[in-house]
Every structure is written in structure tokens, then in C-alpha cells.
Amino acid sequence: MASIYPSLIASNLLNIKKTITLFDPHCSGYHLDIMDDHFVPNLTWGPMFINAIAKATTKKLWVHLMVENPSSFLDRLSLPPGSIFTFHIESKGDHEKLIDAIKEKKWKPSIAINPKTNPKNIFNLLDKIDQVLVMSVEPGFSGQSFLPDSLKKIEKLADHRKKNNLSFSIAIDGGIHNNNIVELKKVGADEFGIASAIFKQQNPLGALEKLQKLIK
């Protein structure tokens, strides 16, 4: 069943506890962006803020690390078992070793690929992870337009998953809205990180519920 994870980076950050209280009964969990101002030209939350959010909700957390050295965050994050830990294939380090370390934490390893990265670059790792995240915008900023080539990437990953009897989920992040979410689900997307199409709307909770109805 497809799931939507509201991306809290686009919410009213001064009222984030209020937002979590409002959204908890209505969503699968939350998408949380960590950016280091090196891997991407933006700086967001650090481990202390993510850990505070983890204490404020019982919902699943999907932490997306847009950072040069994702392994450095392993011991600084206090996430509940089952949380999704997404690192970029374009980041530094031994990716197989990182996947093993994520599993030792009882988290779910997830690999993100940038718009210019060929999905084939991660085919050798797909039997070791729980999720692939297709970036449908350039990572670093919320509110960008969806890149249509992302649909072909999802199709390619879904085809590879089926042919090889693999179980990883396919996630998508960037430029998702009412007019493309149905097609994205149709070609194979399972999980959606959504920011502006929820939190930049007049009624954010109503916007989430409308998106959820579209993918039921």
C-alpha cells in the first residue's frame, strides 16, 4: 500500500510540535531532511533536532541525509527501530559497510539517487537494502518542479525488482502534487516524501488527505 510522508522541513518550524500533534493520526510517518551545506548548497537540521522529533512522535521516521559523510551520523541519531535511513549513492564512504551498520542499528537502509544518476549504478546493492529513493528534483531545496525523467527511473527499478524477485520499496521525493501522484504510483512508486504540496497549501492537513485519497 502506498504511503505519504509529510516533509517537515516545509512546515511552520516554529510550531512543529503542534504540526506533529495534528498530523500524527493521519499519516504513515515523517520525512526529515538533513543537509550539510557541502553535499548540497543548503543547511538544515542536525542530529539534536531530529532526535527531538523522534521523541515527539510514535510515527515512522524517514531520515534523508543529503550529506558528504552519512556514516558520521550513525552514532549521533537516536531513532526507533524500523526508521528509514537514506544516504546518497553519490556520497563518500564504503556503501556496503554503511548498509551493514544501518542494519545493526535496526534501521532500514535506503539509497537515494540524484536526477543525473543512472539506476543501474545501484543494481548491485538492491538485494541488501529496503528502499530506493528516486530524487525527482535536484537535492537541496524544496519547491522545485518535478523532473519527468524520474518516471522512467521508477519504471526501470520496478522492472528490475520484479525480474529479480526483490523486495525493496521505491520512494520518490521532489515536486510531487495532485496532478502527478497517481501516475507515479501506477509506474511503481510506493512511498512519497511531500513538502510544498502539503505545507504550502492553505489547509495542510486537508491537502494531505486529498493526496492520500488519490493513491488509495
pLDDT in tens, 67-89: 999 999 999 999 999 999 999 99
Give the separation between CA 181 and CA 191, rounded to whole angstroms. 10
Share of the chain above pLDDT 70, in %: 100
Share of the chain above pLDDT 90, in %: 97
Provide the terminal-to-terminal Cα distance of the chain, rounded to the nearest Å.
Answer: 8
> pLDDT tens, 189-213?
999 999 999 999 999 999 999 999 9
Provide the 3-class DSSP secondary structure of residue 158.
helix
Using N-to-C axis directions, what is the helix angle for 204-214 and 16-23, rounded to 10°? 40
> Which residues are tagged catalytic?
33, 173
Instruction: Set out the domains of the chain in order of their start, with CATH numbers.
Output: 3-214 (3.20.20.70)
Does residue 143 surpass a pLDDT of 80?
A: no
Give the separation between CA 176 and CA 163, rounded to whole angstroms. 27
Provide the 3-class DSSP secondary structure of residue 190.
coil
Answer for the pair 151, 184: CB distance below 8 angstroms, yes or no.
Answer: yes
Q: DSSP string covering 27-40, please?
A: -SEEEEEEEBSSSS
> pLDDT tens, 8-65?
999 999 999 999 999 999 999 999 999 999 999 999 999 999 999 999 999 999 999 9
